[in-house]
Amino acid sequence: MSKLSGIGMTSQRTRTRFVERLRGQGIKDEVVLEAMGSIPRHIFVDEALASRAYDDCSLPIGFNQTISNPHTVARMTELLRGGKMLGKVLEIGTGCGYQTAVLSRVAQEVYSVERIAPLLTKARGHLREIRAANVRVKHADGSMGLADLGPFDGIIMTAAATHVPEALLSQLAEGGRMVFPIGTGEQRLCLVEHTAQEYRQTTLEAVKFVPLLPGLA
């Protein structure tokens, strides 16, 4: 039996319950809900934790990193979309590849950067397993983005910054959105919208992420 068809984990009942819980938590974007329901989250965590994969909690994935709780993944994806189809998206912090996989269902092209090489190797395997053909991952310092591939319609960062990263702002297309956690003690979600006149910044609900670190590992 393949990991994709873990007992009970990919049943329609499990997925329906998973999506209904997200809807009950305030996620309204049906495109995002469909994407969340289509990704087998249990393959992105260690086998010992697979039974908890659909619980609303973050889980360790090694190297002092975590897979975010499903509601946070859905919320950030919903904010990134803003009700519109996404063309080219940049993700900072591939991690285990779960958020990347969700993005692959709501964007035409996804570029993802991870600084921890062994994590990236595992993520590549997970993304191959779900046949995410529109994703490209790279071992690089995420704080610098991927200037040669920009501009991007959406930028999402899954590690907490202390300030709005200027390098990433310059890679955000006009009409694009950037979503990321900001703060050191208390962290909050931050939404930056690039309009014709300005970068409009909105601070939203409290979240908890690992800090954004420079360099490679």
pLDDT at 173: 97
Segment 143-200, tens digit of pLDDT:
889 999 999 999 999 989 999 889 999 999 999 999 999 998 899 999 999 999 999 9
Asked if 140 contacts 146 with a C-beta cutoff of 8 angstroms, the reply is yes
pLDDT at 194: 96
Catalytic residue (one of 2, 68, 104, 170): 68
Its sign, for the CA torsion 164, 171, 118, 190, is positive
Tokens of 3: 């990991």
Helices then strands, counting H and E runs in the chain, come out as 6, 9
Q: Is the pLDDT of residue 5 over 60?
A: no
Q: Is 68 a catalytic residue?
A: yes
Set out the domains of the chain in order of their start, with CATH numbers: 3-207 (3.40.50.150)
Segment 133-158, tens digit of pLDDT:
999 999 998 888 999 999 999 999 99
Q: Is the pLDDT of residue 9 over 60?
A: no
Q: Taking residues 92-111, what's their average pLDDT? A: 97
Share of the chain above pLDDT 70, in %: 93
Q: Is the pLDDT of residue 67 over 80?
A: yes
pTM for the model: 0.92
25: pLDDT confidence band, cut at 50, 70 and 90? very high
Query: CA dihedral in degrees (54, 60, 57, 207; nearest 10)?
Result: -140
Higher pLDDT, 111 or 49: 111
